[in-house]
A and B are shown apart, each in its own frame.
Chain A
């Protein structure tokens, strides 16, 4: 009856991997948005920061630019990195602890589909995050949206490469905390320190030079710089550390981080918690 002589084989090939990845992505988005705390923490936190810093720091920086015009790209970058790195690393650490990954490992799901599903979820969160931040910031007059379409193209490519790099690093980093419970305490401080080193809360060139060098090692600084090139006039580029927007270097460094994240993920990703191994 149900037993056939030739057992059915698992689906294979890139189309199958993409289809299951898409299914996983839809499921993950659904799951995420039904957990109100995570939505509030992830999406609303940058909005709250925008309000607080936007109201306190009401002054002009060099070049006669309102600080908020400088701050909004930074907060968008921090929001993107928060979703990619922080949310993903914490979420996967918890999933590993709860045995979700172990259960998936016991099915014929292609492992690549799991990662694709995460990236689908992250992209939808990132797009939502950027849309909400820009809508609020421009409604409050904290930022002027660019009119040149080139700038929007820059916004898209910085977002895409930044998201891929940040997500892969988040997936790789999820193996660092020893348990799901320890994950937020391990990962959140790293994200916070990076925000201070990357020119999110104040003008990057205001940092001591050696700290600028430290910040320049990490991806968030480059994402923030990419977004500044979208929202600040090109004349402001002269006040960046290299006196240009360095688009080529931004793309290169983020791509290198993406490759590093991928290699680390492939080498260190665990489907089971350390207690269970």
Chain B
């Protein structure tokens, strides 16, 4: 039972009329992992997540979330699953404390509302009406409602869209804390650096298919890909692309008799890898 992954997907398919939104997706997310689903708009991220959350029926494939098919979600199952949807800002006239306390009554063993409000960084806004909160603060309220029931599995659908950089950093800290406490997290994002900062593993989704799954460091063969070594040569900036950057730097060092002027060693960024993947798969499907 505990060896079973939190999420198991085999051959998931979802169509809207002629349009194929999810096209044969396979994925396992083990318990305790923070997994990021990365992809451009319209790639099928939200559709996939909403199927896992029990909101949408699927056209094919097998899905098990916490041991249950989400298409047959029960209230007992809902107790164990926390959901942060894309939409936000619904409770204008109620205060943060009122909303969080109210949602706590739905769960058999909720977290302490005051503690949750504090954890999402809204302690100073507990008595403020939700309608007066900034976009980032509303999103934190959404997260508070997602975690109030002490979920084993938390879905976060583009949680930091519209955050300023500082708010995003604080939000990441909260998610890391949840993850360290053993909560399984499935996150969708189109920010690469967010996936890199939070996720144990990243899955790149494009045109309804998982193009690749890996750790942020190894995604797309990033760790073994050709490295670009560049320096200031006598005739200006020079660079080589090499599989053996250490040897190249040693050779340069011998050549210059010590320090290499303007030396830079660059592996492809996650963004380079990602753009290559999306580009390739686009070319392949067209």
Contacts and interface: CB of A to CB of B under 8 A. Distances in A.
Contacts of A121: none
A109 B108 CA distance: 11
Interface stretch (A26-34, A164-172, A191-199, A234-242): A26-34
A67 B86 CA distance: 55
Interface string A106-127: 1111100000000000000000
Contacts, number: 87
B149 interface: yes
B55 A272 contact: yes
A98 B87 contact: yes
A147 interface: no
B145 interface: yes
Nearest to A3: B182
Contact of B94 (A2, A7, A27): A27
B169 to A, nearest CB: 25
A102 B149 contact: no
B59 to A, nearest CB: 15
A10 to B, nearest CB: 4
Nearest to B110: A8
A106 B85 contact: yes
B105 interface: yes
A142 to B, nearest CB: 34
Given A9-B76, A9-B79, A106-B53, A99 B85 contact: yes
Contact size range, A? 20 to 34
B105 A30 contact: no
A12 interface: yes
Contact of A102 (B55, B81, B105): B55
Interface in B48-102: 53-55, 74-76, 78-81, 83, 85, 87, 89-94, 98, 102
B39 to A, nearest CB: 20
Chain B residues touching A, majority SS: loop
Contact size range, B? 20 to 34
A105 interface: yes
A7 B182 contact: no
B78 to A, nearest CB: 4
Given A27-B94, A106-B53, A10 B79 contact: yes
Contacts of A20: 105-106
Contacts of A8: 79, 107-109
A131 interface: no
Contacts of B107: 8, 10, 107-108
A108 B93 CA distance: 23
A2 B181 contact: yes
A108 B78 contact: yes
Interface string A1-28: 1110001111110000001100110010
Contacts of B98: 27, 30
B103 interface: yes
Interface string A259-277: 0000000000000100000
Q: In this complex, which of B54, B105, B129, B145 has the most chain A Cβ atoms within 10 angstroms of its Cβ?
A: B105
Contact of B106 (A30, A31, A107): A107
Given A1-B182, A106-B85, A23 B55 contact: no
A107 B76 CA distance: 10
A100 interface: yes
Contacts of A3: 152, 182
B76 A7 contact: yes
Interface in B220-262: none
B45 interface: no
Nearest to A10: B75
A9 B85 contact: no
10 tightest A-B CB contacts, nearest first: A10-B75, A99-B87, A34-B93, A8-B108, A106-B83, A108-B78, A108-B75, A8-B109, A109-B106, A100-B90
Interface of B: 53-55, 74-76, 78-81, 83, 85, 87, 89-94, 98, 102-103, 105-109, 129, 145, 149-150, 152, 181-182
Given A11-B108, A103-B145, 15 more contacts: A3-B182, A7-B79, A27-B94, A27-B98, A34-B94, A100-B91, A102-B87, A103-B87, A106-B78, A106-B85, A107-B107, A108-B78, A108-B106, A110-B75, A272-B55
Interface of A: 1-3, 7-12, 19-20, 23-24, 27, 30-31, 34-35, 95, 98-100, 102-103, 105-110, 272
7 contacts: A1-B181, A10-B75, A34-B94, A98-B87, A98-B90, A100-B90, A106-B55
